[in-house]
Structures are given as C-alpha cells and as structure tokens.
Structure 1
Amino acid sequence: MSDQQGLFEFADLPEWEQAAAEDLQVAEVVFNLPLEKPYTYSIPDEFRELLKAGMRVKAPLGRGNRTVVGYCVNVRQAESAIRKLKPIHEVLDSEPLLNDVMLKLTHWIGERYLCGWGQVLDSVIPAGVRRKSGTRLVQSFELSSKADQLIEAGKLPKKQQTVVDVLREFTEPVAATRLCELAECGPGPITALRKKGIVTALRIRSEVSGEMLEDAVQTEDLILNSQQQQTLDKILSAVRSGEHSTMLLHGVTGSGKTEVYIRSIREIVSYGRQAIVLVPEISLTPQTIRRFRCRFKSVAVLHSHMTDSERHWQWQQIAQGQIEVVVGARSAVFAPTPNLGLIVIDEEHEPTFKQDSTPRYHAREVARYRCMQERVPLLLGSATPTLESWLRATRRQDTLLSMPDRVAELPLPPVVVVDTRNDPRIGKGSSLGRALFTSIGRALNEKGQVILFLNLRGYSPTVWCRSCGTGVKCPDCDITLTWHRDRAEAVCHSCDYSIPAPEKCPTCESAAVRYFGTGTQKLEAEVAAAFPAARVLRMDSDSMRKPGSHDEALEKFRHGEVEILLGTQMIAKGLDFPNVTLVGVIDADSMLNQPDMRASERTFQLIAQVAGRTGRSSRGGRVLVQTTNADAPSIKYASKHDFMGFAYHELQQRKETGAPPFSTVTRVIFRGMSEPQVCETAREVANKLRTVAKDLDPEARILGAAPAPITRLRGYYRFHLQIAAPSHERVKLLWQRVEGKLKLPDSVEMAVDVDPINSR
C-alpha cells in the first residue's frame, strides 16, 4: 500500500463528509524492509489518544493482510478523506521508544546508508528494550474491598492478622515474596486469607533492575600538563559556544587523552547534561568504565555482552536522565540521552566502529549527524586517525587539536625494524627471531613485562598438502582451514565449520598433509617452552569467550601475575601498563599483505598502537617489529612514530588513484546458492548502473561485477560491484534511479555497503 492509496480529494466529497475528514488522523508506519516508504494506516478511535510517533504497532501488510510489527514514525491529520484505508490493529508501547530527534537521526541513516527506515529502527532499539526484558508478572496481594467487614465477623489467627497488618501499611499491592518476608510467614496464611475473601491476588508487572556496577572509590583530578590544559581550554570553548563543532584530538599514545576527555565531560555534567563515550573493543570497556566511575557518580555501560534485561534497565536509566556518562561500543551512539552535551569517540580509527550488517552505518558519521542535530560538540581522539578524519582536519572542516608529547615528558619508545629474511632462528621454523628472543630474555631478567602481538589466531593458519599443492579448505567457504591444536580440529574462521585434524588430503588422499604458519596458540606454546620460568597469558577470541574474561586477564597482567602477554589486536591499543618494557610484533607482513586498499593504513595503525603499550614509566621500553618487507612505507613511518609523514605519503597515493577519501565508494554484494545465477544478476545490475550513469553522472565509475575476494562464504557464492563517485549524494541519486527498477531472482540476495571497510 503506498502513501496515497485509499485517499481522495476533499473537493470530491459532500460538505458534511469534508468536515468529518478534517478530524481524521492517519499513522505513517515503517517495517523491517529495504528501502520502503512509510505505509499509511487509519487510526481506530481507541488508539487516537494513545498513539504517538516512536511507538511500535501491529498492522496488516500485503495482500494476505498478515499482521506485522512496525514503527509509527508520524501521526498527522488526513489530507483528504479516507476510504478503505487499513486500520492499525494494536499499539504495543505505552510510551515512545524514540523521540523526534532520534527518529530524524534514524531516517537520515536509512537515506545515507541506502537501507529501509524500518531496518534502521529494528537495529537501533535493542531487542531487550523491544521485549521489555527484565520485567515480569509478579504475584502480588492487597486487601479486598470487604476486608474490614469480613475481619469483624471473626477473630483471625496470629499469622493471618500479621499479614493483614502488613498490607495495611502499603497503599500499593505487595509482591508475594516481599509479603512473606515482612510478615515472617510462609504462603499458608496468605492462601487462607484468599479463601476467606480478605486478600485479593493480582499479577503486576514488576521492573527488575539490571546489574549495578560495583562501587568505585572516587579519586581526585590529575594535574594537567600545559598541552593537556591548552587542549582542554579549546574543547571547553566549543562546549560553551552552544554550537556544534567536530574536533579531532591527535595525541600520541600516552599523551593523556583520557584525562582530557574526563575533564571535558566534567564540565558537561556540571550543566546537568549527559555525555556518550564510544570505545572500540569490549576488552577496553572495563578499564574505561573503571576510570570514569572513579570520577563520576553514575556511569552506564552498553555493549554486546550484556543480557537483554541489563540492557533494558540501563536504557531506562539513561532515558530518565539518571545517568551522567554512557560508555559503550558502537551501538551506544544511539543511547537515549534526553540532555546530550558531548559525544567522545576514543580510538576513532578503529574499524569496529563500522557495522558489518544492515544498516551498515559508521558510528563516527552517525555521531557527527546527531551532534549537529543537537548542537553539541563531537570529540574524536586517536594517535593514528583515519585518513578521512585527518583530511577533514587539514582542510579545516573540523578543528585539529594536537598533543604531540607524552605526559611527564616520557619519550616515545625506540622502534627497531628486524628484517627476518636471513634470521637463523626464523629459518629453523621459530616465530621468535634472534633479536626478539634475546630481548625477551633481557626484559624478564630486568623484571619487566613483555607484550607480543600476532594478529592470527589458532595454532597454524594453513593446512596444506605437499603432494597436490592445495590447501585444505572449508566446504562452505573459499577459506583454508586453521589448525587448533587444543581442540585437535581444523576450523573455518568464517563459519566455524570444523573437522578432526586431517590425516589425509581430501583432494588427493595423500598423507603428506602439513601445517604451516604461526597463530597465537603456537606462539604461546613456543614462548612457554623458550621461557619456562615466565608466566604466559594468551588473549584472543578463542581464549576470551567467557563474559568478564578480558578484564580478569588484564588485571592479572596489571598486578604482575603474568610476565608475558600475547595475543591479537585486542591487546594492541588503549591499555596502560607502566611495567611493560618490551613489545614485539611477530609478523607485520600478515597485516600488510591483505588484498585491501587500507592494508597499509591499518598496518601503520596497529604497529603504532602496539608500540604505545611500552615506555609508559621511567623504566622506558623498546619495540621490535619482525618483517620481511622492511622498506614498506607503513613500517618505515611507524618505526619513526611519524603519523604526519605517513598520512601525507598515503594521501598522495590515494589522490592519484581517486580512492577514498578523495571519492566515495559504495559496494553492492550479491549472494546465492547458484554461482552462474549470482554472477549473471551482478552483471545485469552493473550494466544498468553504467547505462544510467552515462546520462545522470558521467563522473561516476562502476567497477565490476566480479567475484568477491572470498567467493564462497557460508555456502553462498558471492559477487560484488563498486560505485565510485565524487560525493555520497551522487552515489545515492544514481543508486535510487536504478534500485526501483531492479527485479532480483528470489534465490539471489543483495546487500549495499556505503563506505565499505571490510572488502572480503
């Protein structure tokens, strides 16, 4: 049903019918569907006073009139009389789940990221909030209207009288468990009173609060150095202006950015306003929360490891204005703060701020738009900003704030690039080259701690047959299996398919199956064998599955219970351990050799970030980077801690090729069970885009269709194409001109990814 179906002009109606039409209201409703405009429904009389924008409703959809849950996004007067317009069946909420500001924000996300408004709303509102998780019907009791009359008729036993006395003290019904506790009795006396008609049983919805964070001891402010104070003054000037501005705080690792965030938020809170702080990794959240809770009275946390009831309770507290600071991962940008004063995005360069499922939004851009709407500042912080953010700052579209020195005038650690091509230990199959092996021993002898970074999990990343020269791949994905020795299985890291460690090649049945490469599990075993007196701890997604395990592991390292911490990128950033005197990057090439436009940028960022974990005390520290490509620009600039040099070099490369941030790219992915059909569909869409682009936007480029880098994933064949144009608006116009004419086969799915970060 379109927005116009069932509507007639007033002029076509008799006068008495025109007057009636002027009183009619309609609701605009969106559903979890791609690129659908709002559907219009009549509002039955019983819902007229109740229904507001931001509430969920049940309404008939499609020819079969099946009832579907949707979101009311507008209630308005009918512009004409309504005939045969379908009515809303049910209103599911007593209060709006989103206010007008958030409705406008979600509508913008749908348009910006080329998806349906209903799809955005279904993603933004947590499932626990939609289901009202943490609430339940609780058996409760109150005195009946005839209680006094019945009690006068006969004396009650002592226990029953006590129950009556307790109920008389309350004006509201009392939950059964609470009543038994106060009356110091079991259920027997209450049951007896019910049979006599003195007590009435009710079932009342009772709110169950989420887990409260543990109390934190309030600490005093730290003394700011001159560069911190200058940066803080500029941020507070923007805060006090009452206008929106985006500020990029480029501060080296250990420069004290978190203290600047805290002092900025202190000012916001003093105005009775709220702040949102986004962090990229769940492993960073406990540490960040701890630092904020020591300085603020109320801090809420929103992240994916929370239960639905915890998330619902936190959501309610935030919406009621009870929370000063909201800390969380990507989705916390949608926290329903009624008095927002500032959004901070720490480590803004992290790819985890980009959602990899519909709606494929980037939290940085959503935060920017939300802050513009609410006329409050946005503060981005990083030692290695994205090139997109850096270019905006150098063009003065955003304000650049700089903190080039570490606190207490501590120097950045020296970074030594170790070419491992002729290393004798590496040649014999070790993961630790001679220089790194010697340095670890020296650091341990000096009672220092060591961090080893390797961005490959499992034991051996490749299972390979020497006889036929092929890798042992997942049957559902175009990916080589990884050997996990602790599970005695070869595992697909995309779909979790696993088989017992193969003794024969599934292709040629040869017994010449070998395991190549080093993952974090193999590195752990090697380090433990090489340094048996040292306590070793591994942090990756395999070892950190249990909720709270990240914080527990880091606390052990912080208190010196572990000497060597090794793991994937979850240990590479944001952690502050003064006793770390050595950081080793095991294999920089594993990041650099990815088929990705941003591989060089990410390599620089990871090396720079992991290098920042050492040298944070007077003990100093050093960094060793093992690589076979010592001349790569990202590695050379990272070894000098030269972000600006790297950014200039990389931006020049991107400008010459017209790559982002000098253009905008949208990726369209097709998938299905039939490879020829998916291929043909992708090519047809690409050809239609080229045809329209010739007349609409000659500067737009259509790249592909072509097989995706991982052509088969979870049983689906995948092809993709890219639309490149000078601006998002031009990509949007081109796509919308074509999208409405597309008729995909039922067996082929399509996804649109604006500003893609994951290119697999």
Structure 2
Amino acid sequence: MYKYAGIIVNNNSIQLDKVFIYYIPKKLREIIKVGFRVKIPFGVGNKIIDGFIVALYEEYSSNSNIKEILELSDEYPILRLEDIELIKFMREKYLCTYLEAIKVIIPTGIIKGINRKTSDVIYVGKNLDGKYQKENYKLIYSLIAENNGKYNKNEFSKKFGVSLSSLNTLLKYGYLTTEKITINRYDERIFSSYPEKVLNKEQKYVFDRIVNSNNNNFLIHGITGSGKTEIYMNLVNNMINNGKDSIILVPEISLTPQMVERFKGRFGKNIAVFHSKLSEGERFDEWFRVKNGEVKVAIGARSAVFLPFNNLGLIIIDEEHEHSYKSDSDPKYNALEIAQYRCSIEGSKFVLGSATPSVETYYKTTLGELELLVLKNRADNAVLPRVELVDMREELVANNKSIFSKKLYSEIEKSLINGEQIILFLNRRGYSTFVSCRKCGFVFKCNNCDISLTYHNEDGILSCHYCGSKRKVTNVCPKCKSKYVKYFGVGTEKVEQEIKKYFPMAKTLRMDFDTTRKKNSYETIYNLFKDNKADILIGTQMIAKGLDFKNVTLVGVIAADLSLNLPDYRSAERTFQLITQVGGRAGRGEKPGKVIVQTYNTENYSILNSIANDYKNFYNQEISIRRDMGYPPFSKILLINMSSKNENLLIKNIQNVGVILKNILEHNDKIEMLGPCPCAISKINEHFRWQILLKGDINNKLANDIKNTVYETLKEVYTEIRVSLDINPNSLI
C-alpha cells in the first residue's frame, strides 16, 4: 500500500521545479494512482493549490514534517503512466520544467476547471389536468411534446416566446420534467462519402512494407501528388481492423479541413480533431473523447501528438519537413521527436511523409534509423507540372516594372479564359514590406521593436508583425517633414490589388495570417476555392503544401528569393521546399499543370534543383555544405536568448554568463561558442535581446548543466531578465 506521493506543484517558478513528497491520507490510499491531480497545502501559508502525482512510494524517510494531500481534483487520472515518461523525457531533452511539460500534455481548460458541458433539457411529464388545461399551458405542453429533450428552460423560452413563470409552474407540478444531458462542443457534421481507391503498385508496396515489417520507423518520400494520403488512410483502416488507435499530424490548420473531410468521409464522424483554433471547451471535449476510448483516430496540428490514446498503433506526420512541428514557446519541443519517443514506448508504427524531406530526416535514412520508402510517380497517371524559370532582371531591362513577368501575366490570362484555377504564392503578407522617405532615407520602424513596419492597405495602417502594434499611416516624413514617403516591397495584399487591377473579372481569395484569424476562416476559404467559387487563390506558405485542387493548372511563385535572403543555415533548404511544394499544387487533376517561378537569382542550387524537381541532387549539395560548416545533422545547436527592458543590466549579465560558459567549455574542442552578441532583431516588444550560440557535440547532460549554470548565474535578476534555451531552434534571428 502506497503511503506517500511524489507531486509536481502547479507553480511556474523555476525554483520549484522538483518533486515534492506528500502523505496520502488513509481514505485515498485505495483509489489514488499516478496521474491524478490533487489539492494540496503548499508553502508557509499552506495555500491550497493543484498538484500532479508523478510517483508513489511505500516508505519515505525525511526529517521534515510532510504535509498531507487534501482531496482529488478529478474523478479520474488526467495523466497516463506513459505521459509521466514523456514528461521526464521532455524536461531532459528540451530544458523545460516539469510543469511546462505537463501543461502541454493536458488541455489548458483542465487547469481552469473546464469540464464536460451539461444542460437540463425539458421533457413532457404527466398529462395535463384540472386548471392546468388553460390555453397557455396547453401550448407550452404541446410544444415541449414536439421538441422533447431538445431545449433547456432558457433556450425554450427564448425560441418560442413563452414565459419562464409558466414553464416553472408546469415543472413544479410534474407536468414537465428535466433531465441532465451532456452537450457536445465538438464538430458532429457528417461529410459526403470519400470512397476507397485501389492502391497502385508503388502505393501497395509502401503499405505492405509498413504493415508487415518488423521495423517501426519509416519515411515515405513521395513526389507531390503521389498518393501519400491514400496510403495513410489504408494504414489507419488496418489499425482500426486490429483494434488500434491512430494519430495523423498536419503542419498547418489550413490543411486540417481537407484531411478531416477525407477521413470523416471514409471512416465516419467519430474522428477527433485537435488544433489551436478550437475553443478551450472544444479542445477539452475532443481530449476527453480520446481518453474515454470513444474515438480511434485523431487529426490535428502539433499538439495532437499528446492525445491520450490507450492503444496507440500508429502516428503519421504528414509534410514532416515543416518547421511548424517545432514549438517556439516553452517547452520548445519537436513533435517528430515526441512522436518517435511515444511510438518507442508504446510499441507503435512511426511514419513520416513528405515530397521534400528535411535534411536531418533524410540523413537518418542513410544511417538506417528510418526505413526509406519511395513514391516516384503521381497517382492516377497524372504528370508533374512543367516548370519555367523567369529572370526578373531581364524583365527590368525590358522595362517591365510590374510584379508579374510577361510570361506569368499571359499564363494567368490563358487559364482564366479556359475556366481553370490559379494559385499565386508569395511568402510575405501585407501590402508593402516597409515605408521610407525618399528624401532623407528615414524608415518607419516599430517603437517597441527593432523592425520596420509593414503597410496594410485594407486598414490604412502600419503594423508590426512581431509585437502587433499598429499606427495610422502618414504621407509626411516624421524626420524631415517632406512628402516624399514611398511604399517599398510587395506582400499578398499588393498581389491581390494588382490582380484586381489587371484582371477585374477574376474572383480572388487570399489566405494568409490576416485573412484567417477568425474561427473556421481556413475552412471557408478552402471550401470556396475547392467548389470553384473563385478563380485565383493568393497566399503565403499556408497554401504551399498538401492542398489538392483538381482544377488548378497554374501556379505562380512571385518572388522565389525571399526565403534565400534570411540569415539562417536552413534558408536554401526552405527555399527548395517551398518552391517544390507550391509547384506541386498544379496539374493534380486530368488537366496538365504549369509553374512559373520568378526570381532574381537564377543560379542558386536550391532554386535550380526545385525547378528540376531533383531532391536527391539538392540533398547531396546541401548535406556537403552542412558537413563542412558543422551544422545539423552533424552537430546540435543550443541557442541561449536573453531579453530585458533594462539594456545595461542585460548586457552585464549575459557577458557574465558568457565568461562562465567559456571557462566550462575551455577544454572542450567539440563545442564552438559564438557571442554574447545582440540578436539579428535586437529589440522586440520593448525588450532588448542578446544571445549566445553553442554549436557542436551537445548531449543532454551538458545541455542541462549549461541550463543550471545559466539560471544559477541569473538568480538575483531572474525577475528582470527573460531567458530562453532552445535546442536546434527554428530560427537564429
């Protein structure tokens, strides 16, 4: 019998990131388990807070007085034993706290006390008699009879315009009754059937290999349109037939409607959907359905990897190369690593899929850590689109100052005449990327950040894409008072305006961060374009992958160089992936497709290989550069970012940390230290930013030693300086 519990307290302080021991009262010993949330007294004042049980002990020796658990917070454990393993794994690997790991595993609503939503709905009771056969009572009674169990009192009164007083009278004397029911907050729509397709020879081989192999870790490298989704659905069906559960991850919420539509069309409505655009209530209900064993399949973005399936057989990660699978907030986890670890401890199949695998993932196939499965052909006998490169320098020489080359303009015209759809891709939102004075050179910058403001034409405002601050645009330079204010650069808003100018009859849709803030906005735009209610879809990277529109015959890449110019070792890889992926949206139906790629850099290897759709050649060139430069996958990067409103305090303390780390690493020739130095964007939201970058053979123990050193050095100023530790970050900016 367990008498003591190891508990993580619900307190964000780094100093409290440890397991506290509590005594289990006799009344709870029969029912208490690892994973329960409990009420406990904590601190000098014995404030009652939540705690999470992560261990149980029969005996515990201690000189101090051990406090006692007060009660259970829930009727069931909210963490599984496997979740506890995952929490320990995350704390060590991602340098986070126990509590940060717990909070990412369970829905945020649980901490806030959200539970299943219930309602007292009204039914008819005994027959009306005596004085209760008046007209108003008879009307209410008959309406309830027609709508038995549909409404609660307030809903019924509002819908039918009847008095609550009369309702209460009929309830009081038993002519009406109520029953508490659970209200489902998740989407219960039924989708039209998505019939099963016969797998072609390549697809069948990949499916059979995954199902029948003793290996559990796979990468499906299939060109765009090769039918990876159909393989996923067959794998899920196989798991359902064997009584096992499946998780399918997609990188963008914009891809979720398409995946949900197909899976629910094939397997019915009992599929959980989990992503950040759901309300806290919806997320709780979906999580509870999974925990309760009510569904066998879940589809979602990054956080769906933690859903508490009890018989997990498969995790699929589609478009595995996408950087959105890596979290930028604590805990800074990578969903691919979490999924693979889950599969290893739960004995599940781990399947990655992409037309443009990340360099790190493909490298693992050469080491034998992942089994490589290749799809070289498009499904349904479709062919890859023809890709044409346009040198925008030549367009300038020919005096074409439009954002559309002559070739792209003429192809848009042709597609519109033929009733075909077009996708135009530009990975930058807004109207103009910066505003400047042509007389004195002044650039309009954010007051809170070291970044230029982006002009948004629809609202007539200048917006900071980092802190979100906004201000009205002015045509007068604040510095020299001249009126020579000009808008430079192009964003998706400008592309949309130019299309309306040159092709006024074309119906356009725009999919970027600005048009998809509202709930269900992704799905609305997706459905309008899928149903041919628009001719041209303009968007950022959220339209660059996965979407399958049969009538799209033309894709235009407005500026292929944008991602090349970022100060990041992954810039060439991201450029190759974006161009290849967005190009793959063309020609997915019976009609052939064409892709026009506009660039000022026609010699770059990432652009040339994407035009040729030659992943292997790109990989060979890129891996050689990574090896020479000592970048991942040949090393790890640990980025230490510190920020504060007090610039002098920040510089002094990060320099202290730098000196201490230099001494620790003095005899370690396998680690290179860069910095301390200001970040590329040296100020965000009024906080100055400095960083130290460590690159090399960084194992978990060393990373945790460095974490402890940093926090120990900063313990006196911890409230004034923010610290971020990130292993292999998405961005070094």
Could you state the TM-score of these two structures normalised by the residue count of structure 1? 0.87
Matches within 5 A, 1:268-417: 268-297=239-268, 298-417=270-389
Is 1:256–2:235 an aligned residue pair? Answer: no
Contact 1:425–1:433 (CA under 8 A) maintained in structure 2: no
Contact 2:2–2:29 (CA under 8 A) maintained in structure 1: no
Is 1:751–2:705 an aligned residue pair? Answer: no
Matches within 5 A, 1:446-465: 446-465=418-437
The CA distance in 1 between the partners of 2:543 and 2:207, in whole Å, is 28
2:228 partner letter: K
2:674 aligns to what? 703
Is 1:230–2:205 an aligned residue pair? Answer: yes
Give the CA deviation at 1:64.
4.9
Larger CA deviation: 465-474 vs 74-83: 74-83
Matches within 5 A, 1:452-491: 452-491=424-463
The CA distance in 2 between the partners of 1:485 and 1:270, in whole Å, is 53
The CA distance in 1 between the partners of 2:175 and 2:703, in whole Å, is 65
Report the CA distance shift for 1:200/1:83 in structure 2 as closer, same or farther (over 3 A).
farther
Contact 2:9–2:49 (CA under 8 A) maintained in structure 1: no
The CA distance in 2 between the partners of 1:247 and 1:328, in whole Å, is 20
Give the CA deviation at 1:38.
1.0
Give the CA deviation at 1:503.
2.1
Report the CA distance shift for 1:621/1:329 in structure 2 as closer, same or farther (over 3 A).
same
The CA distance in 1 between the partners of 2:312 and 2:398, in whole Å, is 54
Q: Secondary structure at the match of 2:209?
A: helix
Contact 2:3–2:25 (CA under 8 A) maintained in structure 1: no
Contact 1:424–1:433 (CA under 8 A) maintained in structure 2: no
Equivalent position to 1:578, from 545, 550, 559? 550
Deviation string for 1:190-234 (max 9, x for gaps)? 8569989x99999x9863212333112334310111101111110
- Structure 2, unmatched stretches of 5+, are 124-128, 142-150
Equivalent position to 1:215, from 190, 194, 197? 190
Report the CA distance shift for 1:195/1:285 in structure 2 as closer, same or farther (over 3 A).
closer
Larger CA deviation: 575-584 vs 451-460: 575-584
The CA distance in 2 between the partners of 1:323 and 1:704, in whole Å, is 50
Deviation string for 1:465-503 (max 9, x for gaps)? 222223110000111001111101111111111111122
Is 1:660–2:632 an aligned residue pair? Answer: yes
Could you state the TM-score of these two structures normalised by the residue count of structure 2? 0.91
Report the CA distance shift for 1:532/1:212 in structure 2 as closer, same or farther (over 3 A).
closer
Equivalent position to 2:665, from 685, 690, 693? 693
The CA distance in 2 between the partners of 1:80 and 1:734, in whole Å, is 28
Give the CA deviation at 1:395.
1.5
Contact 2:251–2:322 (CA under 8 A) maintained in structure 1: yes
Matches within 5 A, 1:18-417: 24-31=3-10, 32-34=12-14, 36-80=17-61, 83-133=64-114, 135=116, 207-238=182-213, 241=214, 245-297=216-268, 298-417=270-389
Contact 1:134–1:310 (CA under 8 A) maintained in structure 2: no
1:616 partner letter: R
The CA distance in 2 between the partners of 1:425 and 1:551, in whole Å, is 42
Contact 2:9–2:50 (CA under 8 A) maintained in structure 1: no
Give the CA deviation at 1:369.
0.3
Seq. identity, %: 35
1:583 partner letter: V
The CA distance in 2 between the partners of 1:733 and 1:211, in whole Å, is 40
Contact 1:129–1:311 (CA under 8 A) maintained in structure 2: no
Aligned positions, number: 714
The CA distance in 1 between the partners of 2:640 and 2:256, in whole Å, is 33
Deviation string for 1:91-110 (max 9, x for gaps)? 31121111101121122111
Larger CA deviation: 105-114 vs 675-684: 675-684
1:434 aligns to what? 406
Report the CA distance shift for 1:712/1:270 in structure 2 as closer, same or farther (over 3 A).
same
Larger CA deviation: 633-642 vs 289-298: 289-298
Larger CA deviation: 363-372 vs 536-545: 536-545
Report the CA distance shift for 1:679/1:316 in structure 2 as closer, same or farther (over 3 A).
same
Larger CA deviation: 737-746 vs 250-259: 737-746
Over alpha carbons, which structure has the higher Rg? 1
The CA distance in 2 between the partners of 1:82 and 1:200, in whole Å, is 62
Contact 1:580–1:615 (CA under 8 A) maintained in structure 2: yes
The CA distance in 1 between the partners of 2:438 and 2:360, in whole Å, is 44
Contact 1:705–1:721 (CA under 8 A) maintained in structure 2: yes
1:104 partner letter: E
2:317 partner letter: I
Q: Secondary structure at the match of 1:648?
A: helix
1:630 aligns to what? 602
The CA distance in 1 between the partners of 2:355 and 2:273, in whole Å, is 24
Deviation string for 1:345-399 (max 9, x for gaps)? 0000111111110001010000000000001110000000111100001211110
Report the CA distance shift for 1:200/1:650 in structure 2 as closer, same or farther (over 3 A).
same
2:322 partner letter: E
Report the CA distance shift for 1:628/1:139 in structure 2 as closer, same or farther (over 3 A).
closer
- Structure 1, unmatched stretches of 5+, are 1-21, 143-154, 165-173
1:749 partner letter: R
2:476 aligns to what? 504
2:147 aligns to what? none
The CA distance in 2 between the partners of 1:187 and 1:453, in whole Å, is 56
2:503 partner letter: F
Report the CA distance shift for 1:469/1:245 in structure 2 as closer, same or farther (over 3 A).
same
The CA distance in 2 between the partners of 1:653 and 1:494, in whole Å, is 31
Deviation string for 1:554-584 (max 9, x for gaps)? 2222222211111111111111112211111
Q: Secondary structure at the match of 2:53?
A: strand
1:232 partner letter: F
Equivalent position to 2:645, from 673, 676, 695? 673
1:618 aligns to what? 590
Contact 1:136–1:205 (CA under 8 A) maintained in structure 2: no
The CA distance in 2 between the partners of 1:289 and 1:466, in whole Å, is 50
Contact 1:249–1:401 (CA under 8 A) maintained in structure 2: yes
Deviation string for 1:27-86 (max 9, x for gaps)? 432443447221222234444444332222333444454443332212222322665123
The CA distance in 2 between the partners of 1:325 and 1:179, in whole Å, is 36
Contact 1:460–1:518 (CA under 8 A) maintained in structure 2: yes
Is 1:729–2:667 an aligned residue pair? Answer: no
Matches within 5 A, 1:599-610: 599-610=571-582
Deviation string for 1:423-457 (max 9, x for gaps)? 14985531111221122112222332211101111
Q: Secondary structure at the match of 1:478?
A: coil
